[in-house]
Each structure stands twice: as structure tokens, then as C-alpha cells.
Amino acid sequence: MVKKISILIVIFFLSGCTSLEEKVSTFTEEEMEEVYGEKVKMTSIEESTPIGATIIVVLTKIFTDVYDLTFQSEDDPNFTFGGEISGDLENFEEDYVQSKHEYLLERDKEYEEYQNVFKENGIEGVQFRSMIHKGKPYITVSGYYKGGETDPEKLVHTLGKISESLVKVPVETSLDLEMKYNRISTDYYSKEESAEFEQIVEQQFMLVNHHEMVDGGVLDQELEKLGMSADSRLNWDEQSEYFITTLFISQDITLFTKPYSSNEDILKAFDVFRKYGMDESVVNIINLDGTCKVKEVKETEDLSRCYRER
């Protein structure tokens, strides 16, 4: 009896294979052309094999099957990429953007040059991923920022050129960078919003570099001559209206003085911060109450206005 039921189940699934394949290919091919402006052909569909306990496998079968897909681009460049879809066509994911990136990286000299811009800006391990939101494509460029000199204008311009190479329709791009103590994730910006995108990227790199100057020892020598030291903290904000953004918004500096530190020496410490462009940074002075931005402290009267003994 059990054997007969098993055979019937197999026959049932096999009988629906052709119609399922046609349904999936029609849906995914139309979706790719509509979203990315790319004509593709689905070349294979295979049921994904669930991994786990029997009960998990059975439940997966009951509620929704998942299928692994392979596509071939019909336009130039002609490349293959993979995807995944559920049997109800509700969840469709593909690696079109990353696959096209890898294809162009191996075969297109101009595209290969774009990657050098990431290296020039201290970004390594670059990956591309795409998502579809309300019928529009979005590209996230991710990587690891190891520090150093940056050129936000050139970087944002290059991101635009890369996006145009990967997707034929207008696309919005985000930058997602991991670093040793946190990460930044910008909002998505279109080509028309490149000036705003550049401004955001410039601010993020500036804050990160200012933090590194304090914590990385660049200022140590100059502050040690004054009998002082400093510590830095970056403040960040996370928002998620449609997409999650994580951005640094300000730098706090703690200035460690000695009991014998004079006001003149403290003012010289502020001159050091100014020298390295930290005018907007907020300074806390150990053992004193109050804070002030670097640009607001130039004379002894400014110290008296900002700080009080505890």
C-alpha cells in the first residue's frame, strides 16, 4: 500500500513538471527583461534539495518547493547566471549582477580598469548584489575599507559607470563598507543624485580618517609634547524607512590633560585638532564638565565658556 502511494506521488510530480517549467520560465524571463532590460533564456530548472531533519524536509515539501534555475543571456555579453524561485513564484532571486560583473572583469579591459579605483580608495574584496523593490533594480556595492587616501568624486563617478555597464535601465546604487570597528551602509542614489551621493561618501571617509588619526597615533607625538593624549569615538545613526542605512554622523574627542596643563597648552591641543581638519569634532576634556566643537575654541575665554571644573 505504501509503495503504491509513493508511486502515485512520483507520477503526480512528474506530470506537472512541463507546465511548471513553462510557468517559471515565462515568469522569470519577463521579470528579468522588465527589471534589468535584459533578454534571457532559462536553460534549466532543478528542485533544490533541502538539508536537515526529516520533519523539516517534509514541511518544506508541503508548504513550498524551491527550485534552482540557470539562465543564459541572449544579449551581448552572452553569459550564464543562476537563480532560485519558490513554486508559488512569490520569491525569485538571481545573481545576474554579480555574474555579469565577474564576466566583464575577465573580458573587458575598460571594465577591469574600474576595479583599480576601488584599490586606489583602499577598498578590497568588492562584491555586487542586486535587489528588486517595487519593480525597480537596486545595486549594492560591498567591500572592506582598510583605510588610507580616498577620492569620493572619482569613486562615485566610477560606481555610476559600473552600474551602467551591469544594468541597461536606470539603476540606483548603494555603498556598503565593512571596516575593523563598524560598517557604513549608504542609501541608494540614482545618476541624477550623484552630487548628494558624493557628499555622503566624502563625509563618511572624512569621519573615519579623523577617527584613525586620533586612535591610530598620528596626533600622539604633537600631543605628547604638551603632556596630553586623546581618544576618539564615532557616533552613528541607523535608519530603515525602505532600506537600512548605517552612517557615522559625528566624532567625539576626549582630551586627557595633566593637573599642571595650562590653558595655553590646552589651546595648543585644539590647534592640533584644527591642523588635521577636525573643526566639527566635539571635544570633551577629562576632569572638566562641558563640551565644545574644535572650531569654537580659539581663546582662553572660549575655554571658560565651554568648560567648568567638576
Instruction: Output the pTM of the full model.
Output: 0.82
Q: How far is CA 178 from CA 124, 125, 202, 233, 247, in A?
A: 10, 10, 16, 17, 12
pLDDT at 159 (0 to 100): 96
Structural domain boundaries of the chain? Answer: 20-92, 108-210, 216-305
pLDDT at 49 (0 to 100): 62
Band of residue 229 on the pLDDT scale cut at 50, 70, 90: very high
Please give the CATH number for the structural domain made up of 108-210.
3.30.70
pLDDT in tens, 250-292: 999 999 999 889 999 999 999 999 999 999 999 999 989 999 9
Task: Work out the percent of the chain whose per-residue pLDDT is above 70.
Answer: 89
pLDDT in tens, 10-48: 344 444 445 789 999 999 999 999 989 899 999 999 988
pLDDT at 8 (0 to 100): 40
pLDDT at 237 (0 to 100): 94
Q: Is 110 exposed, middle or buried (0-12, 13-18, 19+ CB in 10 A)?
A: exposed
pLDDT higher than 60, residue 2: no
pLDDT at 260 (0 to 100): 87
Mean pLDDT computed over 109-133 = 91
Reduced to 3 states (helix: H, G, I; strand: E, B; else coil), residue 135 is coil
- Better pLDDT: 17 or 95: 95
pLDDT higher than 80, residue 236: yes
Reduced to 3 states (helix: H, G, I; strand: E, B; else coil), residue 53 is coil
Measured in degrees and rounded to the nearest 5, phi and psi for residue 75 equal -95, 170
Which of 2-6, 14-18, 57-61, 165-169 has maximum average pLDDT? 165-169
pLDDT in tens, 41-84: 999 999 886 544 444 444 444 445 899 999 999 988 889 999 99
Q: What CA–CA distance (Å, rounded) separates 170 from 241? A: 22
Strands (E), 134-182: 136-145, 172-178
CATH topology of domain 20-92: Nuclear Transport Factor 2; Chain: A, (3.10.450)
Q: What CA–CA distance (Å, rounded) separates 126 from 177? A: 9
Count of CB atoms situated within 10 Å of the CB of 160: 17
Q: How far is CA 34 from CA 74, 78, 254, 285, in A?
A: 14, 18, 53, 58
pLDDT at 64 (0 to 100): 59
Rg, the chain, Cα only: 28
pLDDT at 307 (0 to 100): 95
Looking at every residue in the chain, the average pLDDT score rounds to: 88
Q: How far is CA 198 from CA 7, 150, 170, 283, in A?
A: 62, 12, 18, 27
Mean pLDDT computed over 144-159 = 94
